[in-house]
Amino acid sequence: MSASTTPWTHDTVLLTEAVDALAIKADGAYIDATFGRGGHSALILKTLGPNGHLLGVDRDPQAVAHARTWRDERFAIRHQAFHTISDLPEASIDGLLMDLGVSSPQIDDPTRGFSFRHDGPLDMRMDTTRGQSVAEWLEGATPEFIAEVIRDYGEERFAVQISKAIDRRRQERGPFRTTLELAQVVAGAVKTREPGKDPATRTFQAFRIFINAELEELQQALAASLRLLKPGGRLVVISFHSLEDRIVKQFIAAHSREVVDRRALFAPAKALPLKSLGRVKASAAEVAGNPRSRSAVMRVAERTEVAL
């Protein structure tokens, strides 16, 4: 593998914990569904034997460009959203890893429009080659819909106030173009905030999740995992906020709890296709070295022998 030429660096969260959770088989087939800058993928390849295979998936053109500098016959990269793994053959993989959210290069590069701390174009698309930017969406969205997005995807209690402030700003000065323009309007509408948290945090999260359809993509990829994983294969998902983690937690729970038919109380419980292996959080040492790992929650499940 060659080194990255990008100036933006990324500290991979729960690196060894995630790869350990995959229980790598030397000749296994694995998917890193959120390649990013390849931290997890690099360690997976170190653990795999010469006959193993790893597919990386990412919709960020910069991440894909970095992946294409790697020289390893066991590795391939797809420039697609990760829900597209559903087109792979049934029971074809031994492990699936999803590290959700935004990578450090996306946040730190102002030109990507994810950050409320540095001015840049109000974009937030993970794949800059397709779809609407946040600026384009805000230009035509109704105040009611903007409030709904902020409330549902940002869990923001000031959603209506922020939406009204955004609408006033559009009427007075025209469309939003930059991240700081939006952050300043949000800050003026949010009267209180948790200590140390920027007033724009939840609104930016909401717009990013919405514009990239992140929750819908996660739900589709989780559903696909049941079909793709071989018996004994591992599902490993790292989430960074409660909306994602709730979806993952509920999915694993729904497919790992034994179901008892109350109409036949003495019949054996029906086994389900997943076995929950619990959750892991970043250690104190990791949080001290990488504060962005503080909110990370990793959930792990194993595919059982039960057919769908």
Of 280, 282, 294, nearest to 21 (Cα)? Answer: 280
- Give dist(CA 121, CA 81) in Å, integer: 22
Position 1 scores a pLDDT of 37
Two tokens at 4?
């990255």
Q: What angle do CA 282, 283, 288 make, to 5 degrees?
A: 100
Query: What end-to-end distance do the CA atoms of the chain give, in Å?
Result: 39
Asked whether 133 and 120 are in contact (CB, 8 A), the reply is no
pLDDT of residue 64 exceeding 90: yes
- Phi-psi domain of 242 (left: phi exceeds 0; alpha: psi -120 through 50; beta: other): alpha
DSSP 113: S
Asked whether 277 and 300 are in contact (CB, 8 A), the reply is yes
Of 34, 36, 91, nearest to 307 (Cα)? Answer: 91
pLDDT of residue 148 exceeding 50: yes
Q: In the CATH hierarchy, which top-level class contains the domain 128-211?
A: mainly alpha
pLDDT digits (tens, 9 = 90+) for 156-166: 999 999 999 99
Q: Which residues, 6 or more positions from 240, have their beta carbon under 8 angstroms from its beta carbon?
A: 100, 101, 292, 295, 296, 297
pLDDT digits (tens, 9 = 90+) for 172-216: 999 999 999 999 999 999 987 777 789 999 999 999 999 999 999
Confidence of residue 9 (pLDDT cuts 50, 70, 90): low
Count Cβ atoms within 10 A of the Cβ of residue 171 and give its class: 0-12 exposed, 13-18 middle, 19 or more buried: exposed
Confidence of residue 111 (pLDDT cuts 50, 70, 90): confident
Of 82, 57, 89, 125, nearest to 222 (Cα)? Answer: 82
Position 110 scores a pLDDT of 85
Report the predicted TM-score, pTM, of the whole model to 2 decimal places. Answer: 0.91
Cross-strand pairs, 275: 302
Looking at per-residue pLDDT, the higher value among 268 and 66 belongs to: 66
Of 15, 25, 31, nearest to 229 (Cα)? Answer: 31
Candidates 3.30.1370.60, 3.40.50.150, 3.40.50.300, 3.30.1330.40; correct CATH number of 15-105+214-303? 3.40.50.150
DSSP 70: -
pLDDT of residue 226 exceeding 90: yes
The domain ranges of the chain are 15-105+214-303, 128-211
pLDDT digits (tens, 9 = 90+) for 240-264: 999 999 999 999 999 998 655 566 5
Of 210, 78, 200, 64, nearest to 132 (Cα)? Answer: 210
Give Dmax (Cα) for the chain: 70
Percentage of the chain modeled with pLDDT above 70 = 93
Q: What's the rounded mean pLDDT across residues 134-142?
A: 98
- Give dist(CA 152, CA 149) in Å, integer: 5
